[in-house]
Amino acid sequence: MEGAALQLLALAKAKNRLQGLLSAVLAISGDLDLSAVLHRIVTTAMELADARYGALGVLAPSGDHLERFVTAGLTDEERAALAGVDFPHGRGVLGHLIRHPAPLRVDDIPAHPASVGFPPGHPPMRTLLGVAITVRGEIYGDLYLSERADGRPFDEDDEEIVRALAGAAGIAIENARLFGCVRDSAEQFQRLLLPTLPDLVPFSGAAVYRTASEPARVGGDWYDAAVLPDRACVAVIGDVVGHDLQAAAAMAQARNMLRALLYDRRTPPSSVLTQLDHTVGAITDLPVTTACLARIEPAGDGWNLHWSTAGHLPPLVLGPDGHARYVRGEPGIPLGVDPAVPRPDHTHPLPAGSTVVLFTDGLVEHPERAIDEGLDALAALATAHVALPLDDLVRVLADHHPSDGHDDIAILAIRVPAAEGPLPQRPLP
């Protein structure tokens, strides 16, 4: 009976470990950010083997040393004691695993022939379990565990389950690397389609674009700005519905056509948007597109903001006193719906030193909050950082946005001169 009871306990333990392994594989496969995947692999291995400490060393391209070291399990005090100490690069016992990538179990680290000791401040560690992680047939790095919670050395069961995890980890790492490549390529392609802002003197301008958090999400967010021959600064931001190459191509067509219309027609923003709707609709299948077109025009000793929107969010105006407000008006319908529907124009005075911020909905939309909550959060964020240089301001808004990050983000900010008075003369083109 005693033998049967022990067998049942062993089976129950094996079942629990198998269930833990399956849950672990699902957990590490759920992340696509490489840094998050590496950290999740370490903490998951610690849970499976009930280890106090864990680390993952990533091999350099040369394969002879570690170029990255991800740790888990250290307390704040232990991390503070190691402040200023460089991470391990693969000497000692860790180097042994690099040179000999078979699974390694050590019952007494200081007694191992390859041991070179620990740096000052390092917590005492006696036991070690090391397993190599392979990605596409090549060693990517090594997974290390130390100090089982029960104080006993790691055993064969620990080695087997960590080896199984390492196999799944290789797939998760490769997925994260591929995702990173696709994301970077999509972002690079999108940036090639977007303009570098020209010289806007006497105004200043800044823009930022961020891709969506999902892979292959080439989007249709776009912006442009220029100072026109009539001395007005024109700024536009838009969002083509869709996240694919068609949306990106349509975005490029609309932006290029709009720039030509702006230089050709000194008409109100509503008329330019209407002409854009007619023209692009006649020569291409433009998807539904929202846009906000604004002109900052001389007005006596100051400026006026003259704008029209096509189903887009309103401009955010930051006053020189730091006050932020949305200038709202009838939005008009998006482009690509019905170009015959009249579009409204709106005006708003701009004190010297004001900043006009145009943005796409990816900056403020969140599925769990009303759009007005996102707009309020953005206004508060902008108010808190209004004194920053314009390039820094748009980066802060993009870095700390109130949205969920699942859509592209484009921000365009234009600041009028701080000194009141008519615009300086510019040479006509």
Structure confidence at residue 426 (pLDDT): 41
Per-residue pLDDT band for 267 (boundaries 50, 70, 90) equals confident
Query: How far apart are alpha carbons 21 and 32 in whole angstroms?
Result: 19
Query: How far apart are alpha carbons 2 and 8 in whole angstroms?
Result: 10
At 137, is the secondary structure helix, strand, or coil?
Answer: coil
Q: What percent of the chain has pLDDT over 70?
A: 80
How confident is the model over 223-230, as a mean pLDDT? Answer: 88
The mean-pLDDT minimum among 31-40, 216-225, 410-419 falls in 216-225
Cα 19 to chain centroid, rounded: 33
Structure confidence at residue 319 (pLDDT): 92
The mean-pLDDT minimum among 249-258, 316-325, 364-373, 383-392 falls in 249-258
Query: How far apart are alpha carbons 376 and 383 in whole angstroms?
Result: 11
How confident is the model over 105-109, as a mean pLDDT? Answer: 94
Q: Is the pLDDT of residue 53 over 90?
A: yes
Spatial neighbors of 29 by CB under 8 A, at least 6 apart, are 168, 171, 172, 175
The total number of residues shown for the chain amounts to 429
Q: What are phi and psi of 59, to 5 degrees?
A: -70, 145
Structure confidence at residue 118 (pLDDT): 87
pTM of the model: 0.60
How confident is the model over 347-362, as a mean pLDDT? Answer: 94
Q: Please name the residue ranges forming H helices in 129-211.
A: 156-193
Structure confidence at residue 188 (pLDDT): 64
Structure confidence at residue 12 (pLDDT): 44
pLDDT tens string 196-226: 888 999 999 999 988 776 544 556 788 889 9
Q: Is the pLDDT of residue 422 over 50?
A: no
pLDDT tens string 296-306: 998 877 899 99
Higher model confidence: residue 279 or residue 243? 279
Query: How far are the Cα atoms of 7, 11, 19, 109, 150 from residue 15, in angstroms, in the given order?
Result: 12, 6, 6, 31, 20
Whether omega before 202 lies within 30 degrees of 0, making that bond cis, reads yes
How confident is the model over 101-106, as a mean pLDDT? Answer: 92
Higher model confidence: residue 405 or residue 64? 64
Structure confidence at residue 119 (pLDDT): 87
pLDDT tens string 61-75: 988 899 999 999 999
Q: Is the pLDDT of residue 21 over 80?
A: no
What are the strands of the beta sheet with 138-148, ordered from one edge?
66-72, 51-59, 138-148, 128-135, 104-106
